[in-house]
Chain A
Amino acid sequence: MITVDGNEAAASVAYLCNEVIAIYPITPASSMGELADEWAAGGKPNLWGAIPAVIEMQSEAGAAGTVHGALQGGALSTTFTASQGLLLMIPNMYKIAGELTPTVFHIAARAIATHALSIFGDHSDVMAARSTGFAMLASNNPQEAQDLALIAQAASLRGRLPVLHFFDGFRTSHEVAKIAALDHETVRAMLDESLIAEHRSRSLSPEHPVLRGSSQNPDVFFQSRERANAYYNDFPSHVQAEMDRFAQLTGRQYRLFDYAGAADADRVIVIMGSGGDTVEETVSHLNTHGEKTGVIKVRLFRPLDTQALLKVLPQSVRSIAVLDRCKEAGADGEPLYKDVVTALAQAYGAGKLAAMPRVMGGRYGLASKEFTPGMVKAVFDAMMADMLKQQFTLGITDDLTHLSLPWDASFRTDANRKNSAAVFFGLGSDGTVSANKNTIKIIGESTPLYAQGYFVYDSKKAGAVTVSHLRFGPDPIRSAYLIGNDEAAFVACHQPFFLERYDMLDHAAEGGVFLLNTQSPPGKAWETLPRRMQQQIINKKLSFHVIDAYRVAEQAGMGRRINTVMQTCFFAISGVLPREQAIDAIKQAVEKTYGRKGRRLVELNFKAIDATLENLHQVQVPASTTSTWEKPPAVREGAPEFVRRFTAELIAGRGDAVPVSMMPADGTFPLGTAAWEKRNLALEIPVWESDICTQCGKCVYVCPHTAIRSRLFSAEATANAPATFKHVVTRSKEFSGAHISYQVAPEDCTGCGLCVEACPIHDKSNVSRKALNMSPQPPLREAERDNFAFFLSLPEYDREKVKHTTIPGSMLLDPLFEFSGACLGCGETPYIRLATQLFGDRMLVANATGCSSIYGGNLPTTPYTTNSEGRGPAWNNSLFEDNAEFGLGLRLAADQLMAYARDLVKALADEIGADLADQILNASQADEPEIRAQRNRVAALLGKLKSIKKPETRSLEAVAEYLIRRSVWIIGGDGWAYDIGYGGLDHVLAQPYDVNLLVLDTEVYSNTGGQTSKATPIGAVAKFSAGGKSARKKDLAKLAMDYEHVYVAHVAFGAKDVHTLRVFHEAESYPGPSLIIAYSPCIAHGVDLSNNLRQQDLAVKSGHWQLFRYDPREREAGNNPLRLDSPEPSIPFKEFASTETRFTMLARSHPEEAANFIKAAETAARLRYAEYKDLAGLPLPGGNKREVEHD
């Protein structure tokens, strides 16, 4: 038995059975590719003793093309993907299927982006691929993900159809479970070598050449399509044959359609995917309680073998419900439902069915929506109604179209009651999840018990909360749903501050355990609980245990790492294993994790484990509550109605209960919601020392979370300021007499410390005292909260009087991007915030999928906000691959409609008045004051239009706002710009349109977990480049400069802040395409981001990153358009590389390669600098007007 998740289960088979693996990261399939890459890098052979070639492509389309080629070349080839990735593969899938090529694609099925993106699981993607000609085989749990991966491979070779092997994203792909492993002999026995040889013999070879992939005319194309029918007709029997062979080898029998339940069932549910297990569990419960129900678990969905389907359907059946995990908007039923109806109708028509059963179809589980036994029961109940409800929905409350079925959330199955359930609340960074994965392994490996683990994450990066759901029981666990209310025998809270945030004890079962990590002594811990929790402990008769895990960890030398301490507590209290055995097992797991390379860490962990039990205390629970406080509401008073009604529910974790009517129909949301989500993540926040501050604005400039601001105001404005509100007379002479304040948002600050790092001011007598110093947050929280509220109540200073081109000046401008959920110390967000400060009131943002779309637009809140006039960035995320094109579309619409509006102004000039019309038509709108003037003119225009009665008037009213210049920003990461979106980006750059492309270059795919992109530098270790990237970083800037009409710049705000500011102004003002490539340190570089600024500085000093601007306007002015803005590298590349794990870890795994790479990187850095210097020094024909400058 092994303990793995669904992705690993499937990937392990795929790896064994293939020779060429083409991959591309996409959630939730990424880890299959990552594992394959790691195995290959570690030299793990496939079944035939060779190490598969694993290659990351530029997109899923590229991966599919590569697989197609590898298959045509005679290799066994596979890929892993999901969602949008699968959509990109579809064209090739038609080809692969059309050519009858054996292969298996493994899919962690995921929702497709519609009104919103979702990374979670449903069948939208695989259903979109159902017409490709691929066979489709569904697995319901990690065991099946492994087993059917192999059956698919065997059947594909046998029957020559490619197979889409899929399982539910997250629910199966990420569920950790104890499963029976496949050994090599079984895999070998399933794969017929002669079939592989046949596959090779059909490949393209100059030794026996053929033409394949011809182009056909109306005369024969149709017949060709029909020629392959036999392969489809035969395929189900091949699959069944392989399933039977597999059963002989392993004892695990699968069928095309697996029926479970009563032989004489009157009601049967037909379902595909993980939900099938939940239905089966419910069916067996209902049947032992006197009902006659059944379930058909569909395994082979394409080609659909209706005979086989009907064969397993009990004759006694009177009603059938078909559940689809997808939505086909506009259809009168979802695909599986319609297939079943068709099958029944055809059988009935052919006289093979005596009577036509009643069939109902419904939807469940979209984007990992919970699907529970209570819902299954609701379906069985609904099947007894006189009139069957069609297109019903499960798991939601539809108060608009009333399609949803009500369900009993407290319904539990007997099987479920047999299991022990435990729920753990932890922080993403505190190791709770990894400890729980270990716990499952320990239980799985040290006891006969089966174990299941599923992990729920929130959508933040900084301070993310994780909830681990663990089940253990005597039988294989098929409960493919979360642990519900009153179900967990064990609830653990790993972070004391969760007490004021989450209703954790809702999960607790009567007589269960509540374990709390708290710094309060055992005698005081009870008092720290909110009243409701105390009541729950009393009512549910919970035993209450506490430990100060931070102290135990600290004393053992482990800092704030509490995972093994909490894990030890779990075992000690739960008694799943005898204590001694449990502790031994935890220690073994620690040794396995840290191994030889971290042997002292092993000792520290042992020390912590040994110290745990004496620090674990049971608290005597009083007979009645004593607490005087309740968990505060999710958002504070004063929030807008939408936030109170909707956003607050999501923040509080009650989003599942939001009814359909409350949702915007088209995915449109208001801005400014992040400001209401006070997360209080910082242990320490900056305190402003106004006496020594020179008001340079650098702290505001570098803050990744927009949590420190500066504002200018009159002294009188502070008449009603709170007593502790700090403000001083500004040092700036232009605003003589005005006051300035630097104010922290105490509950939004994440405590990263970058502001203090950036502060250039030291107390002259004490260098350690800066103009900003970190200080513990809790004692400051309330006063600073009031101060910040007061600060926000002050109006923004007159933007026309502030210098936008200096750091102190520009930092007085209101940011329209605040409090994002980005990582602590994020290197990307300051660039976006800066753009909104400068241009926010006129920005359109096209955002490529990635980190910036997640911290920019993942519900519950968005950091984008509006100014006091209600203007701000309008934002949309189209796709990952099309962002440049999407942004161009926004530009074209703006230009087209501006031109139309201008025509209308011209046509109505007499009525509008020639002066106003002329002013509107001739406005340059080159800068903000001019844009503001134009806004005023447009307002005047709209005023006048009211009284003009001509047909064009209404048209002009509708487009008048287009007369105001819009600033289009196309924002995304390097994965988009260098790889998947490069074709589009290149094309957009080649056009003359005024768009600003901001590439947040983290040099890896950050959002999916640090995979290599073409921006990854040589010698860096990243996922898919475990041995160090061998090619040097693509020079996107140089490629763009080649067009000669593109404004191009390389910036790094932490190296030269004012340069970045200048570039943003120049790029925005340039009337053609502008490309800003912004160096963005990322946690994936393997360096703590409290060093963000230092890393940028080192990157520039070492020549890893050059600063320059290429401004085509300079050429028109007779100058060389390129200016190199960073000096000659002044430190060796090695010095920069030695500070980042992405470079240093290679020296520990591949020392020789590492040394060579460092040399190569050094050379590349110097060369690149030299090249740029040469380019910047080239005289234009006729000579430069400007002296060639170097910094």
Chain B
Amino acid sequence: MIDLSTDYLGLKLKNPLVPSASPLSRNLDEARRLEDAGAAALVMYSLFEEELRAEETMLDRFLLDQSIGSAEAMGFMPSPQAYRSSLDQYLEQIHALKAALEIPVIASLNGVSLSGWVDLGAELQQAGADALELNVYYVAGDIEQTGDEVEQRYLDLLKALYAKVSLPIVMKLAPQFSSLPNFVRKVEEAGAQGVSLFNRFFQPDIYLEDLSIVDQLKLSTSADSLLAMRWLAILHGRTRLTLAATGGVHTADDALKMLMAGADVVHMASALLLHGPSYLTEVLKGIEAWMETREYESVSQLKGSLSQQHQKDPSVFARESYIRVLDSFSPPGSVWR
């Protein structure tokens, strides 16, 4: 029997497959199906700072104060008696998921401002979350802002959250850091228990019909996973933080690569949305089958086995490999250039 268990954020997980933030966690049945399919933990859909703000604006503008100054109408909507905010619904959902599932539930906070919204972490903790994922979805587009300041923003948010909760915190990072390993060390110092690589940004697109900008989130593909793999490989063994691979894991092969690069858990979302919760079983079986064939005993044995520090040639994850890749696009010598 292969030991698939892994440690993540101080939680003992039965295997390394953890569905990441997706709409599947909004529905208890889907969440149960994920658990049944073998999920080791569940990251909930994100509680978005902007969504909460927009909701407050909407509440204020259309529901709580409906002053329009008409003698005939004191308002234009029924009063929102039974209204529960999306925050309250989120807290209820944590509660419900905890009641319905055996596996750990990781709440996810997504936001960017320093205006105190991370204080909500305390409520998530109180509602029963086992850990928190802090997703700082920050597009550093300010020309006056230095790289240090960008990093500091992440760290300030993390510290603010850390001050409010005793739960383990994992920080989900964007790939654009000048020195990721150094920054990860700072994250570690600031109190996190893990990092999750990487955030996928919504990609704005230009709609040529009316020259408007449209935001779209496309589901990932396996190719997207390689970005994280390199950095997992570089980080493994160089930080005490537990590592999560996220973005583009669609198959057992993808997952195995991540683990061998150094991930403690592997997140999946797009593949589960595409194929349904039960697909997780297939991936899990695929991992097991591969390990069995290769006679691996445990995931711990596998973890980081191909990380940079275990490479004979550490440059495979570094710049030198760039040359090789370029070479691979060189036409064969037989072709006239």
Contacts and interface: CB of A to CB of B under 8 A. Distances in A.
**Residue from B53, B63, B83, B210 with most neighbouring chain A CB atoms (10 Å):** B83
A601 interface: yes
Contact of A37 (B62, B68, B77, B78): B78
Which of A42, A823, A1007, A1009 has the most CB atoms of chain B within a 10 A radius of its CB? A1009
A1149 B79 CA distance: 11
A1005 to B, nearest CB: 9
Nearest to A426: B69
B72 interface: yes
A780 B297 CA distance: 79
Interface in A416-455: 427-434
Contacts of B73: 30, 1007-1010
A1082 B77 CA distance: 12
A788 B61 CA distance: 34
B60 A1010 contact: no
Given A593-B65, A601-B59, A1144-B58, A1009 B83 contact: no
Given A457-B69, A598-B60, A1084-B76, A1145 B211 contact: no
A880 to B, nearest CB: 13
Contact of B67 (A30, A433, A767): A433
Interface in B76-113: 76-86, 88-89
A34 B77 contact: no
B191 interface: no
B64 A42 contact: no
B77 A1141 contact: yes
B71 interface: yes
Contacts, number: 150
Given A119-B72, A601-B56, A767 B64 contact: no
B70 interface: yes
Interface string A1141-1153: 1101100111100
A1009 B89 contact: no
A142 to B, nearest CB: 15
Nearest to A598: B59
B68 A42 contact: no
A1083 B72 contact: no
B75 interface: yes
B67 A597 contact: no
A431 B88 contact: no
A597 B81 CA distance: 11
Contacts of A767: 211
A1021 B62 CA distance: 12
Nearest to A459: B71
B125 to A, nearest CB: 17
Nearest to B69: A428
A598 B83 CA distance: 11
A601 B78 contact: no
B79 A38 contact: yes
B75 A1148 contact: no
A1014 interface: no
A886 B12 CA distance: 78
B85 A1009 contact: no
A597 B84 contact: yes
A27 B71 CA distance: 8
B68 A434 contact: no
Interface stretch (A183-191, A217-225, A461-469): A461-469
Contacts of B76: 1004, 1006, 1009-1010, 1023, 1082-1084, 1086
Nearest to A455: B71
A1023 B77 contact: yes
A27 B70 CA distance: 11
A597 B70 contact: no
Contact of A1008 (B59, B72, B86, B117): B72
A427 B72 contact: no
Q: Provide the main secondary structure of the chain B interface.
A: loop
B67 A434 contact: yes
Contacts of A673: none
B58 A1141 contact: yes
A1024 B64 CA distance: 18
B69 A464 contact: yes
Contacts of A563: 65
A596 B60 contact: no
Contacts of B65: 431, 434, 561, 563, 593
Nearest to A1141: B62
Interface string A328-360: 000000000000000000000000000000000
B80 A1142 contact: no
B50 to A, nearest CB: 13
B54 to A, nearest CB: 10
A170 interface: yes
Contact of B68 (A464, A465, A1026): A464
B2 interface: no
B289 interface: no
A1023 B63 CA distance: 12
Given A596-B88, A1141-B58, A1144-B58, A466 B69 contact: yes
B211 A597 contact: no
Contacts of A42: 81-82
Interface residues of B, number: 36
A1148 B78 contact: no
B81 A1026 contact: yes
Interface string A456-480: 1111110011100000000000000
Interface string A43-67: 0000000000000000000000000
A466 B67 CA distance: 10
Nearest to B80: A1145
B121 to A, nearest CB: 15
Interface in A1145-1184: 1145, 1148-1151
Contact of B69 (A38, A429, A760): A429
Given A41-B81, A464-B68, A1149-B80, A1009 B56 contact: no
Contacts of A1009: 70, 72-76
A762 interface: yes
B119 to A, nearest CB: 10
A34 B78 CA distance: 8
Interface string A461-505: 100111000000000000000000000000000000000000000
A41 B82 contact: yes
B64 A1145 contact: no
B77 A597 contact: no
A1010 B65 CA distance: 15
Interface string A1016-1029: 00000111111000
Contact of A1149 (B71, B72, B75, B84): B84
Nearest to A1005: B73
B31 to A, nearest CB: 15
A600 interface: yes
A1023 B78 contact: yes
A1088 interface: yes
B128 to A, nearest CB: 18
A594 interface: yes
Contact of B58 (A461, A762, A1086): A1086
A598 B56 CA distance: 6
Contacts of A1022: 77-78
Nearest to B68: A428
A153 interface: no
Contacts of A1088: 61
A31 interface: yes
Among A464, A465, A600, A1006, the most chain B Cβ lie within 10 Å of the Cβ of: A600
24 contacts: A30-B72, A31-B74, A427-B69, A428-B70, A457-B69, A458-B69, A459-B71, A466-B69, A596-B85, A596-B88, A598-B60, A598-B85, A600-B56, A601-B59, A1006-B76, A1010-B76, A1010-B77, A1024-B78, A1083-B68, A1086-B58, A1142-B77, A1148-B86, A1149-B83, A1149-B84
Given A428-B68, A1086-B77, 15 more contacts: A28-B71, A429-B68, A430-B67, A431-B67, A432-B67, A433-B67, A767-B211, A1006-B76, A1009-B76, A1010-B75, A1021-B78, A1022-B77, A1086-B63, A1148-B80, A1151-B89
